[in-house]
Structure 1
Amino acid sequence: MSRFVYKQSNSDHTLFFKRRKGLITCLIIYVDDMIITGDDKEEIAKLKGKLFLEFEMKDLGSLKYFLGIEVLRSKKGTFIFQRKYVLDLLTETGMIDCKPIDTPLMINHGLQIIEGGDSVDRKLYQRLVGKLIYLSHTRPDMAYAVGVVSRFMHKPQKQHLEAVYRILRYLKKAPGRGVLYEKHGHLDLHAFTDVDWGGDRDSRKSTSGYFTLVGGNLVSWKSKRQKVVAMSSAEAEFKGIGKGITEVLWLRKLVSALGYKPKKSCKLYCDNKAAI
């Protein structure tokens, strides 16, 4: 790609881009699968020709399916989802005819490792949770629940596996849910953060959560347990804000490198006055 005068992004090393006459061409690669996009049709055609000379490749046309993620386009926008992946997972686990449920996790679930609790097949548990983690790429509604069950990979017990099957029942209710990207006429960056103070009963660590919007569209989200125990809700929320700011700065750097530098200050929202 360097030989083709493409620049490798410092923010994402799998992304290469080239600007020409006010237009841009981008290539993003994962192992041996790639997406080429941009508004420079002439350069896209040239890039394909050069890549065909270097590698044995197949042009699959307009993006419809990539690494288990399905893509639909309409006048309203672009919709990404993993319906086939969900149905395959439900079939594999024998849950295709299960009774659907409204929430992926019980409120105040209290999941923890119980001394002397019934153990379950660790390999089965790890495989199921691994599949759910990948599914979280298009399902922000599952991020927290999947983050919770992934804490018990080293020593799964009966109640943890039941929580995983609850998530599968939740998926049965709406297997085609995903994320819609619409055109809103701006590329402003916003982020929202929140924290569950001391929510992990085993370690009393807090769980940070954030999501970011670019141009009014959801582009990244995460729910992760903090590394140290916070002594107050203000401290926990403050650490959560730090994670959110890190993500905003990364996105700002990435979109700026692509030639779309934000025109306004990036806004980050938090509901804890002490932390603010």
Structure 2
Amino acid sequence: MYLTHMKYISDIVKDLQLRFVGRLLYLDFTRPDITYSVHLLSQFLQKPTQSHFAAALHVVRYLKKTSGHGLFYSASADLALTSFCDSDWAKCPLTSRSITGYCVFLGGCLISWKSKKQQTVSRSSPEAEYRSAANTVCELKWRCYLLKDLQVLIALPIQLHCDKKSAITMIGNPVFHERTKYIEIDCHLIRDHYKAGFTTPTYIHTESIG
């Protein structure tokens, strides 16, 4: 009887935590500053622990203190797309996978962002950055299709800012050398879009991104 009662309580707590994190996932559509923390918490929804619940409460306390933060869209901004991409190589302590991050601006206004663990383990930091740039190009392509349907014409090429010079070199170099032979073929789509003049990779210092 006691074990049944404890299991019932445990199921209730788990359900509450699932709903809690689910609401945070919905909220990060307008609060990109909590995207990484919330998506990290969402990886433990099957077996959440007390520490995960405490971390979620920490995010809520942060939101309470920063209730005035949000996204601002100016009516006078120009309609030019700009993008930034970055990656943290082997940052996941559980899988040693890299974290991909990018953000897309339309006329200086943030319209798209993402922070996600990469599906495969990158063997080097340039490879992780290259994968991040490829994901950003896919997002830019989709945004261009969407804006075209809204009768918004985007000037090409689109600036793709990256803080890894070696990754930029890999984009422009058509030779499949030692550093790129472990990268999947679909990642090399960025090279085709670069040749077609869709995007231009540009180096930016890491401190400038922050």
Q: What is the CA-CA distance between 1:185 and the residue it aligns to?
A: 4.4
Aligned residues: 158
Q: Distance in 2 between matches of 1:235 and 1:168?
A: 35
The answer (yes or no) to whether the contact 2:89–2:98 under 8 Å persists in 1 is yes
Q: Which residue of 1 aligns with 2:97?
A: 205
Q: Which of the numbers 43, 66, 71 marks the counterpart of 1:179?
A: 71
1:126 correspondence with 2:18: yes
> Which structure 2 residues correspond to residues 44-59 of structure 1 after superposition, within 5 A?
none
In structure 2, the gaps of 5 or more residues are 1-9, 169-210
1:234 correspondence with 2:131: no
Q: Which amino acid aligns with 1:224?
A: K
Q: Distance in 2 between matches of 1:160 and 1:196?
A: 22
Q: What is the CA-CA distance between 1:253 and the residue it aligns to?
A: 1.4
> Which structure 2 residues correspond to residues 159-170 of structure 1 after superposition, within 5 A?
159-170=51-62
Q: What is the CA-CA distance between 1:254 and the residue it aligns to?
A: 1.2
1:221 correspondence with 2:113: yes
Q: Which residue of 2 aligns with 1:149?
A: 41
Partner-residue secondary structure (3-state), 2:95: coil
* TM-score normalised by L of structure 2: 0.71
1:188 correspondence with 2:80: yes
Partner-residue secondary structure (3-state), 2:116: strand
**In percent, how many aligned pairs have the same letter?**
39
Q: What is the CA-CA distance between 1:177 and the residue it aligns to?
A: 2.1
Q: Which amino acid aligns with 1:163?
A: A
Q: Which amino acid aligns with 1:207?
A: I
Q: Distance in 2 between matches of 1:156 and 1:200?
A: 18
The answer (yes or no) to whether the contact 2:77–2:108 under 8 Å persists in 1 is no
The answer (yes or no) to whether the contact 1:205–1:225 under 8 Å persists in 2 is yes
Q: Distance in 2 between matches of 1:125 and 1:270?
A: 37
The answer (yes or no) to whether the contact 2:100–2:132 under 8 Å persists in 1 is yes
Once the two structures are superposed, what CA deviation does each residue of 1:222-245 show, in whole Å capped at 9, x if it has no partner? 111111111111111111111111
Q: Which residue of 2 aligns with 1:44?
A: none
The structure that is strand-richer by fraction is 1
Q: What is the CA-CA distance between 1:210 and the residue it aligns to?
A: 0.8
The structure that is helix-richer by fraction is 2
Q: Which amino acid aligns with 1:250?
A: W
> Which structure 2 residues correspond to residues 80-159 of structure 1 after superposition, within 5 A?
121-159=13-51
Q: Which residue of 2 aligns with 1:116?
A: none
> CA 1:188–1:205 in 2, change beyond 3 Å: closer, same or farther?
same
Q: What is the CA-CA distance between 1:159 and the residue it aligns to?
A: 1.9
Q: Distance in 1 between matches of 2:76 and 2:160?
A: 19
Q: Distance in 2 between matches of 1:184 and 1:274?
A: 37
The answer (yes or no) to whether the contact 1:188–1:262 under 8 Å persists in 2 is yes
Q: Which amino acid aligns with 2:135?
A: K
* TM-score normalised by L of structure 1: 0.54
Q: Distance in 2 between matches of 1:203 and 1:221?
A: 23
Q: What is the CA-CA distance between 1:264 and the residue it aligns to?
A: 3.5
